[in-house]
A = this chain, B = another copy of it.
Amino acid sequence: MSDTKPIRLGMVGGGNDAFIGAVHRIASRIDGGFQLIAGALSSTPEKSIASGAALGLVPDRTYEDFKAMAIREARLKDGIEAVAIVTPNHMHYPVAREFLRRGIHVICDKPLTSTLADAKKLVKAVESSDALFILTHNYTGYPMVRQAREMIANGDLGDIRVVQAEYPQDWMTEPQDNKQAEWRTDPARSGAGGSVGDIGTHAFNLLSFVTGLKTEALAADLQSFVPGRRLDDNAHVMLRFDGGARGMLWCSQVAPGNENGLRLRVYGAKGGIEWDQEDPNKLWFTPFGEPKRLMTRGGNGAGEAANRVTRTPGGHPEGYLEGFANIYAEAARAIRARQADEPLPPEVVFPTVQDGLTGVQFIQACVTSSSRNSAWVAL
Contacts and interface: CB of A to CB of B under 8 A. Distances in A.
Interface of A: 1-5, 19, 22-23, 25-26, 29-32, 54-56, 161-162, 164, 166, 169-170, 173-174, 219, 221, 223, 225, 234, 236, 238, 240, 246-248, 250, 252, 254-261, 265, 267-272, 274, 277-281, 284-296, 298-301, 311-322, 373-374, 376
A315 to B, nearest CB: 2
25 contacts: A3-B55, A22-B311, A23-B312, A162-B234, A162-B252, A170-B272, A170-B288, A223-B246, A248-B248, A248-B250, A256-B268, A256-B286, A257-B271, A257-B272, A258-B286, A260-B315, A278-B281, A279-B279, A280-B317, A291-B301, A293-B293, A316-B320, A317-B319, A373-B376, A374-B376
A290 B313 CA distance: 15
A198 to B, nearest CB: 13
B288 A296 contact: no
A278 B30 contact: no
Contact of A292 (B248, B269, B294, B321): B294
A71 to B, nearest CB: 26
Return the 9 tightest CB-CB contacts between A and B, nearest first: A259-B315, A257-B286, A260-B315, A319-B319, A316-B320, A317-B319, A291-B301, A256-B288, A291-B293
A38 to B, nearest CB: 14
Chief secondary structure at chain A's binding surface: loop
A291 B280 contact: no
Contacts of A248: 236, 248, 250
Given A279-B279, A291-B296, A321-B318, A254 B267 contact: yes
Nearest to A273: B257
B54 A25 contact: no
A258 B252 CA distance: 25
A1 B23 CA distance: 11
B256 A272 contact: yes
Given A3-B25, A26-B311, A236-B246, 7 more contacts: A161-B225, A236-B238, A260-B315, A278-B315, A291-B296, A291-B300, A292-B296
A211 to B, nearest CB: 15
A285 B290 CA distance: 13
A316 B166 CA distance: 15
A192 to B, nearest CB: 19
A204 to B, nearest CB: 16
Contacts of A32: 25, 29, 56
A236 B240 CA distance: 11
Contacts of A267: 252, 254-257
A259 B54 contact: no
Nearest to A285: B291
